[in-house]
Structure 1
Amino acid sequence: MTKTPLTKSVLAISVATAFSLSSTVTAQETNTGDEPADDLFEQIVVTGTASGKAQRKVESSYATTSLGEEDIKRLAPKSTAELFRAIPGVWSESSGGVSGANVFVRGFPGGGDAPFLTLQLQGVPVFPPPTISFLENSTLFRIDETIQFMEGLRGGPNSVVSNGQPGLTTNFILKEGSEVTEGSFKYTTSDYDLQRVDGVLSGEVAEDLYFMVGGYIQQSPGIRDAGFTSEKGHQFTVNLTKELDNGKINLFSRVTDDHGTWYLPTPLVEGVDNTYTQIGTLNRQATVQFGPDGESQAFDFGRGRGWDGAVSGGSVELDLGQGWSFVDRFAYTSGEANTFGLVPNGDPVALSSVADNGTNAQGAVTGNVYAGDTLVQQIGRWVVLKDIESFTNDLALTKTGDRYEATLGYYRANFSSNDWWALGNHSYHVIASGGENLTGIDCNDNQDSCAWNYDINSTGDGTTSALYAALKYELTDTVTADIGVRSEDHEIEYTVDEGLDGVITKAVQYDESDVAFTAGANWQFEKDMGVFARYSEGSKMPYFDDLRDNFGRFQAGEDLIVDVTQFELGYKLARANFSLYATGFYNEVEGDTFQTQPGAPVQVLTNEAYGIELDGAYYADNGFSVTLNATLQETEITQSPDNQGNEAQRQPGWQIRVTPSYDFDLGDYYGTVYGTLSMVDDRFSDNANSVVLEGYEKLDVGVIMYAYEGFSFEVAVQNVTDEDALTEGDPRSVNSPNGRFILPRTATFSVAYQF
């Protein structure tokens, strides 16, 4: 039996496939030992221009990174945002759990969430606003066995296509069926008692009509043991493809109900390590007060953060003849993205300093008496109920000639978010994993005597419509140039009841337009080597929370649009068994805002950054391979009321990830052993650069064994050395001794059967 090396996979791609941003797939030739390996690094890109025509990645004029199914498996991400670490230029803080990550790109400013990230499924944004409070795009997406590959495009033509995201756009592509019926079943467990089952099945329904169905069901007490089932969920996906004589129709639906603990900064005191979590059996249920009359309601904070909803959509792609082609992509998203969190507030203190009797206090659940030297901390019980909905449509008409490709497109998105918040509700808890609330403390027994509360009831609707055009032209046989322009109109209708007293305190009717622009050139001086240059101007439009937090600026008529200018210069090399993509970048982000927490003062900033991204790989004939991605960057806050001249917060000056692997035979089995070494520079916790987060190294390893009968086994260990580095300090109280650890060491075991 001929064995195919695990590093070489086959993926069929239709040249007619069109997405509004590039969707890259590694089309590495299957090498049986008889064919030459000249095409081992031939990578096909469905271009980042509006037309979506396929081209070789080495001929593209922008920076993309592709991760196939095997790549994703070896990275073993605990959340969607954790996968983004494999993209050069991206710093992803996925230490918050399955949802609620912070994602930064190329030195763009940000204090939390992911304001410069758009996540797409099948080439369509899952939710057009990149970030609204307590919701960034990766919260709405779970990785499973139905994913064929993912691509990350940063900068480049992003400001013109799709939803006009100038930063990072990640696009996940689903598996499709074929004439062959095939599938897989996979069971996974772990040292933290994860129980998960994945399955996928694909095949042919009728002539030229194909299906793929799959999903998962899982539960666990969490990577940091909460003492109960704190992570629970399931997902089901169906993908239908109809091949036409002149194109293709695709329809998909992805239904998800999945949530997990929201991991937050912990007190950095003796006895607390990276296994600590605030939530536990003794405090998961709590009653919070809200509104002017102190109305109260009980909530289960064990639900953490998650997504209960569906993303459904599809595309129509047609070859109209005589060089004309048409594509329409659409998606409808609806569901609940709620947040229940135990949020630290301020410093740890001795119980005696806050107890009513100055000596001790009792546990609210157990009745235990805690001595005065017990460390306690104020914990805010935060509740965010969020219902979202959106419908997005993106259509494009393309004319292709002998030396040119011209596209005209129209993008429209309608979206809404209805929110109910009760933030604050501070109460002193014992500092211990799942530490209980106390009685005998005025703050705990009389909420009116405690600190900050911020309650709102809001409703918002938005519409974004954009007309975009792009032209790509072959100046010579080796030089191409492209240009794109986008004219966008952005409307927001938004009202807020702050205080939950029935009084509308802020009402917004916003209607502004902006124009984005990109131009690039590529010189392909050899078939497998070239350079490119690109200039882009884009923007980040204000959404609901931006208008609430900047309401005074809105009333004063100030411009709330964040302007982004980018330059890129890249080198590309793709030989038979190795590749290297190096991209230098410079960007300026003007008019972005920063706020420590809702209701706090807003600072308006301008940031500049420059650096270089490296994305390389090498495959040896003996089964050894290694991939590298690295980012080196310098950031500076060039305009700020207080922090001018400082570095941007929470972004490392350099980060490097090296992933070696080795394929081997072992009797009747063959397999791969692999690892990833991640190295990260120091960062500043805040824009004032007053708190340093030390750099760290993290090692992940794994082994996969394959049997010819279709069975495979995998063991993966992440954070082998149990590194206890921090991803952030306390963003709400910079000088408090609190910080959020990276996830602790975990081990998972999987057994799978493919047929």
Structure 2
Amino acid sequence: MRGTAASISLGAMAMAVPSLAQTPPVEPRQLSSSPTIIVTAVPRGLNRLDASISVSTVSPDEISILSPRSTAEIFRNIPGVRAESSGGEGNANIAVRGLPLATGGAKYVQLQEDGLPALQFGDITFATADSFIRADLNVLRIEAVRGGSASTLVSNAPGAVINILSKTGETAGGDIRAGFGLDYEEYRLDFDYGAPIGDDWRFHVGGFYRRGEGPRKVGYDGNRGGQIKGNVTKYFASGFVRLYFKYLDDHAVSYLPAPARVTGSDSDPSYQSLPGFSINGGSPYSRNIRTALTLDRDNRPVRDDVADGMRSLVRQVGMEIQVQPGDGWTLRERFRYANTSGRFTGLFPAAVDNASTIATALGGAGASIAYATGSLAGTTIATPATLNGNGLLSESAIFDVRLRNLDEIVNDMRAIRDANVGGGKLTLTGGLYLARQYMKSDWRWTSLVSDVRGDGNAALIDIRNAAGQRVTEAGVYGYGATYFGNCCRRDYDLRYDIAAPFAAMSFLRGKWTLAGSVRWDNGRTRGNLRGVAATVGSLDVNGDGTISPPETRTTLLPAARSPVRYDYDYVSWSTGLNYRLDREMSFFARYSRGGRANADRILFGPAIDAAGGIADKSAAVDFVRQAEAGVKYRTRRMELYATLFHANTEEQNFEATSLRFLDRRYRATGVELEGSYFSLNGLGLTAKGTWTDAKISADAITPANEGNRPRRQAKFVYQLTPQYRRQLFTIGANIVGTGDSYAQDSNQLKLPGFTTVSLFAEVRPMPRVSVSIGANNLFDVKGFTEAEEASIPVNGIVRTRSINGRTISATVGYSF
């Protein structure tokens, strides 16, 4: 079977080991199935042992054993990559080699599909690149290049490039997979088919559709939608032309930080679920909290649906042409247009405390509370201290963001020339990368009061003062980001243009290969924004003819727009040396400097002046300098890779929820280890580990942080993936572990290390038919990836985000 039960349930990879009809009776596949030729962040396809870069691959066979519940969960099995896959099927935080996760998203890592970026910037606020990617049966393999040539052959990716490559129909065949959750509600159907058409044509098409509540309780179908992708290729004597398309329309729940009880000390904390709220299986979402009454970008009342969640809508077409006209020349052109938009709607707790404490804080002494929604709407809560067994209320904000336009136009053209020079082979590459990224969003938040329960039945709460007058209205305390200082009513309309000529060379002589590359990125930002000076006023938001107390706390966008108009440019370069000892082993060393242009995260801070220009030119681009050296060993049954790295990173950024501006330098040193072995009797093992010593080397705003470990950065992470495969069955496990880290850069409250175990089992009772079961996080471990608090507060409630608890799913598949 090429389908995995685990991934069926969540929009990750619904594929696994081949069906019985395709399985050799004795000789098992290599577990990692690493290809000899890599195509990511290199001028053209290159033997892995000849490349002076650190690169890893993940095959469909391996992904099935991982039992992933999101695409980001696949990425955490790449050495050097830190993927905080606790937010659902998008909004993941992804970093590499100790480079900082100072805010969110993937600032220094670019996510690609078939060699072109999903978005030009991986950390667009509320629109991270992984939100617009779904890995399914279309995937041929995933390649990840850390450091090195990622700095120069890609824009805005000095840390790493993770490239999801699609099948192209080279081999005739397809799959149909039907899967469902055994201990949670979700149903999914996957399919793919590809084949040659005559001697010169190939095609492939595939996709999925799913629907259900998802791995956590929300009270409604939170995950719903699907994707279809396809391509057709025409081969001719000197090359090929490929056309491809993608249509993605998907909704997914965004799991934001939620309350947990923390006891002990900052250095030795114990995290526990609250009564009535499982931190790894519950959520604050509810069938009783569906409507978000707010204002649009023209200050007009609108009603949005919280169940929109993270909506990703992508209509994409592209083209790839490769021609070899002769005399050592290769010409390649890649083009893509993506019409992209969506929503981000999520519940974020600004504060969680005893019900009486919050009622008094908002309604004054003698305040009372009552249910505002649900079956008990209008009923007074006489004993708040026993409410839901925890006696808590939450001051929550609805992060309601409309991603109006994230359209992207990308063109990458390059010419490659091979020549014999000085007894060796010289390869020269020249190219031009052109891109346009639109960024049109408006933020329209609402502030609520709710009870704390995680079974999909939470309710909004109304507060009355001692005189019986309402302080809230239908659970709404303010029509804006009232709990965040009315910060976040924003509207921006921007366009980012990039023109980047680049050049690369490599010279192979004997066992030595010398490589070098340079890139000159030129950026232009044009547009306007509102929200720097949003005002608080009164407005009849619900249209009932009166002004209620919450309506006096309405955040309004000003009519005037502020311009954004600045240019930037920077040069990246990289050079490396590779020594091929023999056909099985090589050594390499490389040094690189790459840049990352800052986008929307510097718009509302001191980096932009009144005229829309850059007040401090250093804020426009952050640089990463990396040195690395490694060894690679590969035989038919064994692979071993080890890379030492050292990186110095600049960081200027802004975090939306804490309203913090950052101006820092970081230093990280470490080692990546990766190995695999498979035997003739069907046993296989891959093992990966990364040790990182990372420090904040300078902090212009908070010097006290200097010398501390960056938040959420563990010193050691590892993955083990064993499997046993025979003709009639396959069993495997994926073990992922991480050491302790700190919740914040002050290095007070620790996030305990944890290890998860996922299991996969498949039976092939007859040719082409397979039945499988996948268990993700089998032992229901609570693994915390972030926390809002820097230290345990007096009430012991910490807003934190945990990985999903145990989920088990089943799949029935048919291959043809």
Q: TM-score, normalised by structure 1?
A: 0.91
- In 1, the alpha carbon distance for the partners of 2:510 and 2:584 equals 14
**Match among 420, 423, 437 for residue 442 of structure 2:** 420
**Match among 376, 379, 394 for residue 368 of structure 1:** 379
1:570 lines up with 2:630 in the alignment: yes
Q: Which amino acid aligns with 1:183?
A: G
**Match among 119, 122, 144 for residue 130 of structure 1:** 122
Match of residue 629 from structure 1: 688
Shift of 1:247: 0.5
Contact kept? 1:122, 1:173, Cα under 8 Å: yes
Q: Which amino acid aligns with 1:298?
A: R
- In 2, the alpha carbon distance for the partners of 1:88 and 1:629 equals 6
Q: How does 1:237-386 map to 2 (within 5 A)?
A: 237-269=229-261, 270-271=274-275, 272-273=277-278, 274-288=280-294, 295-351=300-356, 353-354=358-359, 356=363, 358=366, 360-365=368-373, 366-370=377-381, 371-373=383-385, 374-386=391-403
Q: Deviations 1:15-44 (Å, cap 9, x if unpaired)?
A: xxxxxxxxxxxxxxx996899999997731
Shift of 1:548: 3.2
Shift of 1:130: 2.1
Contact kept? 1:185, 1:753, Cα under 8 Å: yes
- In 1, the alpha carbon distance for the partners of 2:406 and 2:353 equals 37
CA-atom RMSD, angstroms? 2.6
Shift of 1:163: 2.2
Contact kept? 1:549, 1:598, Cα under 8 Å: no
Shift of 1:557: 3.5
Match of residue 798 from structure 2: 737
Match of residue 485 from structure 1: 518
Match of residue 439 from structure 1: 462
Contact kept? 2:670, 2:692, Cα under 8 Å: yes
2:587 alignment partner, SS class: strand
**Match among 172, 180, 184 for residue 175 of structure 2:** 184
Q: Which amino acid aligns with 1:503?
A: A
Contact kept? 1:286, 1:299, Cα under 8 Å: yes
- In 2, the alpha carbon distance for the partners of 1:574 and 1:728 equals 37
Provide structure 1 residue ranges, at least 5 long, that are not aligned to the other structure. 7-29
Q: Deviations 1:553-601 (Å, cap 9, x if unpaired)?
A: 75533322101100010111112311100011000012x1243426824
- In 1, the alpha carbon distance for the partners of 2:460 and 2:518 equals 56
- In 2, the alpha carbon distance for the partners of 1:334 and 1:733 equals 43
- In 1, the alpha carbon distance for the partners of 2:141 and 2:131 equals 19
Q: Which moved more, 1:444-453 or 1:455-464?
A: 444-453
Contact kept? 2:744, 2:790, Cα under 8 Å: no
Match of residue 11 from structure 1: none
Cα distance change of structure 1 residues 551 and 448 upon mapping to structure 2, 3 Å threshold: same
- In 1, the alpha carbon distance for the partners of 2:297 and 2:236 equals 58
Cα distance change of structure 1 residues 5 and 543 upon mapping to structure 2, 3 Å threshold: closer
Q: Which moved more, 1:497-506 or 1:107-116?
A: 497-506
Match of residue 141 from structure 1: 133
Q: Which moved more, 1:46-55 or 1:237-246?
A: 46-55
**Match among 136, 159, 177 for residue 151 of structure 2:** 159
- In 2, the alpha carbon distance for the partners of 1:41 and 1:219 equals 32
Q: Which moved more, 1:554-563 or 1:482-491?
A: 554-563
Match of residue 777 from structure 2: 719
Q: How does 1:459-608 map to 2 (within 5 A)?
A: 459-474=493-508, 476-498=509-531, 499=534, 500-504=556-560, 506-552=562-608, 555-560=614-619, 561-590=621-650, 592-597=651-656, 600-608=659-667
Cα distance change of structure 1 residues 718 and 38 upon mapping to structure 2, 3 Å threshold: closer
- In 1, the alpha carbon distance for the partners of 2:30 and 2:314 equals 45
1:74 alignment partner, SS class: helix
Q: Deviations 1:474-497 (Å, cap 9, x if unpaired)?
A: 2x3111100101111011013111
Q: Which amino acid aligns with 2:36?
A: I
Cα distance change of structure 1 residues 38 and 174 upon mapping to structure 2, 3 Å threshold: closer
Match of residue 409 from structure 1: 431
- In 2, the alpha carbon distance for the partners of 1:608 and 1:682 equals 19
Q: Which moved more, 1:449-458 or 1:327-336?
A: 449-458
1:157 alignment partner, SS class: helix
- In 2, the alpha carbon distance for the partners of 1:172 and 1:237 equals 13
Q: Which moved more, 1:385-394 or 1:364-373?
A: 364-373
1:432 alignment partner, SS class: coil
Q: Which has the higher contact order (CA 8 A, sep 6+)?
A: 2
2:778 alignment partner, SS class: coil
**Match among 197, 205, 212 for residue 213 of structure 1:** 205
Q: Which amino acid aligns with 2:397?
A: G
- In 2, the alpha carbon distance for the partners of 1:558 and 1:507 equals 17
Cα distance change of structure 1 residues 53 and 261 upon mapping to structure 2, 3 Å threshold: closer
- In 2, the alpha carbon distance for the partners of 1:715 and 1:469 equals 48
Contact kept? 1:426, 1:443, Cα under 8 Å: no
Contact kept? 2:719, 2:734, Cα under 8 Å: yes
Shift of 1:302: 1.2
Provide structure 2 residue ranges, at least 5 long, that are not aligned to the other structure. 4-21, 262-273, 386-390, 465-469, 535-555
Q: TM-score, normalised by structure 2?
A: 0.84
Cα distance change of structure 1 residues 701 and 5 upon mapping to structure 2, 3 Å threshold: closer
Q: Which amino acid aligns with 1:702?
A: F
Shift of 1:342: 0.8
Q: Report runs of 4+ in structure 1 exceeding 6 Å deviation.
A: 33-42, 290-293, 731-734
Cα distance change of structure 1 residues 236 and 555 upon mapping to structure 2, 3 Å threshold: closer
Shift of 1:737: 1.3
Q: Deviations 1:373-426 (Å, cap 9, x if unpaired)?
A: 131010101210012101000011000123111100110001101111113x22
- In 2, the alpha carbon distance for the partners of 1:576 and 1:221 equals 44
- In 2, the alpha carbon distance for the partners of 1:532 and 1:63 equals 9
